[in-house]
Amino acid sequence: MITVSILDDHIMVLRGLETMLEDSKLVKIIATYNTGKKLLDGLVITTPNVLLLDINLPDSNGIELCKLIAKTYPSIAIIGLSNYNETGFVKNMIRNGAKGYLLKNSSKKELIEAIKSTYRGETYLPKSLQNKLLNESIGIRSSSFIPKLTRREKEVLELISKEYTSEEIAEKLFITIKTVEAHRGNLIQKLGVRNSAGLIRVAFEKGLLA
């Protein structure tokens, strides 16, 4: 029996994953969490074979959390969970210790296959993401691709383009500096760049900034 823990800040997602796995003879969910802090506290007591880790969290950076858990608990096979199919997210998760990456709309069959594969020590990626990564590696990139940004990400991007600091953005939008940095990190991943300068350049190229 493969033991699984799940971290996702959306209760409906947690329940959906539990429902998909509840009748499996191979997989048993032993814990669910809705914040990074609760997960870290829980892992001290209960360590699963596989961890389904939401990478977009309100209280922590999912990629940094992945890196920390991979280092502290190397026996846990981490699968990143996300709504984003941008290759930047995938590469960063794998680079920081994840053994797999799944989109939240994955089927039950794919979910179980990912859990089994990573438990065996293999890396698991959906076929669509494998193809995107392969195309990029041989130089085929869709220049027409425009990532979907949330309303808040658009606001942060606009202010970054006006050379506001993280502190100024936090003050203007009434959010914490940590939240600003999380949005900045997401923007960098979605646009496939390395820093704020690249972020602004690509955002203009794709028409995300006027």
Of the listed ranges 13-17, 34-38, 92-96, 188-192, the one predicted with least confidence: 188-192
Q: Please say which residue of 137, 167, 184 terminates a domain.
A: 137
* Mean pLDDT in residue range 162-182: 93
Of the listed ranges 59-63, 117-121, 139-143, the one predicted with least confidence: 139-143
Q: pLDDT class for 56, splitting at 50, 70, 90?
A: confident
What are the structure tokens assigned to 154, written together?
């658009």
pLDDT digits (tens, 9 = 90+) for 81-92: 987 777 777 888
- Total domain count, the chain: 2
Q: How many CB atoms lie within 10 A of CB 145?
A: 11
- State whether residue 137 is helix, strand or coil: helix
- Asked if 108 and 27 sit in the same domain, the reply is yes
pLDDT above 70 (res 3): yes
**Quick one: what percent of the chain has pLDDT higher than 70?**
94
pLDDT value of position 145: 66
pLDDT above 80 (res 57): no
**Quick one: what percent of the chain has pLDDT higher than 90?**
49
For residue 130, the enclosing domain spans 2-137
DSSP-derived pairing of the beta strands 77-82 and 100-103:
parallel
- Asked if 39 and 132 sit in the same domain, the reply is yes
The model scores a pTM over 0.85: no
Rg of the chain (C-alpha set): 18
In this structure, what DSSP letter does residue 94 have?
A: H
User: In this predicted model, which residue has the larger pLDDT, 85 or 164?
Assistant: 164
The contacts of residue 170 (CB under 8 Å, 6+ apart) are 176, 177, 179, 180
Q: Give me the sign of the Cα torsion angle 113, 101, 125, 49.
A: negative
N-to-C CA span, the chain:
54
pLDDT above 60 (res 144): no
Q: How many CB atoms lie within 10 A of CB 88?
A: 17
The CATH number of residue 33's host domain is 3.40.50.2300
Task: Say if 210 falls within a structural domain.
Answer: no
Letter for the amino acid at 184?
R
- Asked if 6 and 102 sit in the same domain, the reply is yes
> 75 exposed, middle or buried (CB, 10 Å; 0-12, 13-18, 19+)?
exposed
pLDDT above 70 (res 137): no
- For 192: left if phi > 0, alpha if psi spans -120 to 50, otherwise beta; the answer is left
- Asked if 130 and 158 sit in the same domain, the reply is no
pLDDT above 90 (res 78): yes
Question: In the chain, where do the E strands start and end?
Answer: 2-7, 27-33, 50-54, 77-82, 100-103
pLDDT above 80 (res 141): no
Indicate the average pLDDT of the chain: 87
pLDDT above 70 (res 74): yes
- Asked if 101 and 186 sit in the same domain, the reply is no
pLDDT above 90 (res 127): no
